[in-house]
Amino acid sequence: MLAIQSIHSQSWSQGDSPMALSEIIAPDKSVAIWKRLTNPVIQNYFDTTFSSLGMGIRQMFELPSLKEALMRSLPDGEGKNEVVEDIYLLSDVLTCLFDCEGVGLRLVPLTAAMCPKFHTDQIPVRLVNTYLGQGTEFLPVEELLDEPVIGSKSSSKGAYHPHSIQQLDTHDVGLLKGSAWDKHEHMAAIHRSCKVANDEKRVLLTLDPI
């Protein structure tokens, strides 16, 4: 797996502030990434409460009621307040960026890849953030091949070289453009869940503007 090496590429970009996410508006971007340091307090919370998360949370929330709802839904543990504040922060960023009033929130504990094949989402845009475990993998649009060659692999969106795969780090925030984004369906982010080893845990947060 290659680490992300450049600050800007043709179809994706990254930066170390929330403003980096606004790059998703550009017609030539499929992925925008806010690079963040891992938060040990949040990681420890999800590691210690993993078995108590059950099926996780899948619900739509308006921003004013989000914190209270999360405090009721999440299991108690050291770091819970930090988790609630961070989810609220990401939801606030998303609603401000897309001028909406709420989010479709999914917070799920995973012991296997949820979507192991490269695909695009049939939505306008989605925020992804991995709190525990490895991050989401994606393919730069410009790396897709017109047809398979020796050493390449095929997906439903085209052929690609395995060395072209990029991956978000733990706690990175990514905005992934979907196929319903305006007229730029060809710029939908091609992505998949990372593999999860038998002894690993993964906690994934996704937010959709609503």
Point out the least confidently predicted range of 96-110, 134-148, 168-182: 134-148
Contact (CB, 8 A) for 133 and 202: yes
pLDDT value of position 56: 96
Task: Kindly tell me if the per-residue pLDDT of 150 is higher than 90.
Answer: no
pLDDT value of position 133: 93
Of all residues in the chain, the percent with pLDDT exceeding 90 is: 67
**Calpha distance 89→83 (Å, rounded):** 10
pLDDT value of position 149: 43
Average pLDDT rounded to a whole number, residues 116-141: 91
pLDDT value of position 117: 81
**Calpha distance 83→209 (Å, rounded):** 20
Digit-coded pLDDT (tens) for 26-71: 999 999 999 999 999 999 999 999 999 999 999 999 999 999 999 9
- Is the full-model pTM beyond 0.85? yes
Return the sign of the alpha-carbon dihedral for residues 141, 156, 137, 135.
positive
**Calpha distance 136→176 (Å, rounded):** 10
pLDDT value of position 132: 96
Residue type, 49: T
Both tokens of 125, joined, read: 């845009």
Both tokens of 149, joined, read: 């060659």
Of all residues in the chain, the percent with pLDDT exceeding 70 is: 82
Three-state DSSP class for residue 12 = strand
Return the sign of the alpha-carbon dihedral for residues 7, 13, 16, 22.
positive
Task: Kindly tell me if the per-residue pLDDT of 195 is higher than 50.
Answer: yes
